[in-house]
Structure 1
Amino acid sequence: MLLTLLVGGIGLMVINQIESQTEKQQHIIIFNNHISQLASGRLGYLKDFNGDIAAHIATELQAAKTLVDHDLQLKRSSDSSQRLNHLAQQLQLYDDSFTQLKQSVSARITAENQLQTHINHASELLRQLTAAIPASDDSLQHLAAQLGKRFYQARFLVIELLRGDDIQGKLQDTAAEFDTYITQLQTQASSQQQLLTDISDSFKQYAAIASTLPGLMSSLAKNSAALEQDEQTLVDTANQESVAQANLQQSITHSAYIYVTIATLAALFVGFSATLVISRGINQPLQQVLDVAKRIGEGDLTAQSNAKRKDEMGQLMQAIAAMTQSLRQLISQV
């Protein structure tokens, strides 16, 4: 009975451990899915700078943190706990890097909005300048047209800059040409000095903001690369934990097989031993009864048995002894 309970207990323990390992493996799969969502979300965010995508990334990141925190509360080996702690630290680093990425994105969006504001303002000023110059003054009209051309050329260079092209030298050359035409107009159109000054200031501000774009683009690329590396580290660590848990599950199954085999052999041995003991406990007194009965049948009324047993066999031996005694008394009276 005890061995049966032991085998059942071992089986139950093995089932619980296998279920626990299966749950941990499922958690790793879910964790990797969260990391996959982070990677795709990062690429989408860098493409569109969409706030909803950023919120989705934050949700997936928090879900991954919660999963790791939950697994840290479970009983695990020291190596497993160390890997989980590393995952928790790496997730925090990812969170910090993503915060820096959002700051870089915010700075770029601000710069683009400021550029657009200056474009609109400068366009209006150039329109006013063209309207203020007499149509008959071909020289001033030509200079104003060249001024507008350089401004819009700078605008398209900034668009190329946002695409990642290295056009800083072209932008500086355009700015120098713009200053040249401004100077010529200021010399020839003295009545438009204030308007020309406003146009010059607007362009300088536009160029100053444009000059910050390479740094912003570099920061975005750096932060994105850091996040990509963090994602790979998270996946690698999670896969290491998956392999370790799979090996542990295999070890548990193998150990359980050995324990159950040993317990089964022990149960068979004990059962066989118990059968021998019970068999001897029945056969020996039965043989004694048969010997006494045979001797009595041969006429030997002195045959006796030591009926010290308290069970049914002992009662039978006592009954035979009483019968023998009665026969001896009967014969003595004849």
Structure 2
Amino acid sequence: MKDRKLSHILLVHPPVASPAAPPWTPAQVAARLIGPDLCLDQYDANLDFFLNHFLTSENLTGLMGVIEKRKMQGDYKEVDTYTASLLANLATNHGHWESKIAVVGRSLKILGTEDFYRPGLCMAALKEINDLLALGSLAFYPSCIRWDGFSNPAVRNWTGVGAFLENQETNPFLSLCQERLAHRIAHPGLGLLILTIRAPDQLLAALTVARFTKKLRSDLHVALLGHDMLLKDAANYVDSLLPESDLSHLFELVDRLGGGSALEQSAVPDFTGLPLQDYLAYRSKWFFSSGRSPDACLYGRNGRSDGRGTAFFLHGPDMLPE
């Protein structure tokens, strides 16, 4: 017996993954969740993390202060050679790093425009961004944030996971939840939050979001959707585990919560609500905003599959849109 009617679902793509193109899994789920009274929103927390939260001049400037504070506390006494070198460089070239921070927006813009196809500009922009990711990571040491991944060598088991989720000093995703996610969770009609993960590097951020959400709204049902191996042992952090290989579990959950739905086996991925113009791969931005079908975008004249279900683009002068 359904004791309430589910009206609003939020699909969240957590960090850290490449922000080059729209995430595929939530778009597939969105296309297959059909219900006359269902309202479904997609939130790419990964893209938001990079563009509007972490890689901003204001945030990076603040993180330089955090690094100095942690240095005074002695948090960097036994670091690896690379981290020691980066700290020394920051100490002797403080003004240079401030200059890098001041133009981070320009570096990001290069990757999202036709300048992406100018090798000199593109490589220089990528170097600047990678340098700033390394700088920002120092503030959350030993966490390491990369363009397409995340790691923390101190998190070796599930006991370590629990400690990490509550650690403001080493968890860069807590501030994202507080500043960018909280107002979305507070939506009065929201009845189900689904976190979609495709890679291990997203797991800690996903669990951070789950823990934060349950603290803010204990009544909100939180589900984790992904590969079976990624979901293993995560049951203590969410209300439901949903294997991506069998979406019938998702539809059973939606139905149980009061939102009737139907499964569309051949549904075309739905990217509605995602900020398509903000993704950083210029080619994929053109594809998704041109009205062409995803299949044509990924497997058409200029693209091919690697045989494992992974699509990739072939770049070259003839790839530029006319």
Query: TM tier, shorter chain?
Result: under 0.3
TM-score norm. by structure 2 comes to 0.21
State which structure, 1 or 2, has the greater radius of gyration over its C-alpha atoms: 1
The answer to which structure has the higher strand fraction is: 2
TM-score (norm 1): 0.20
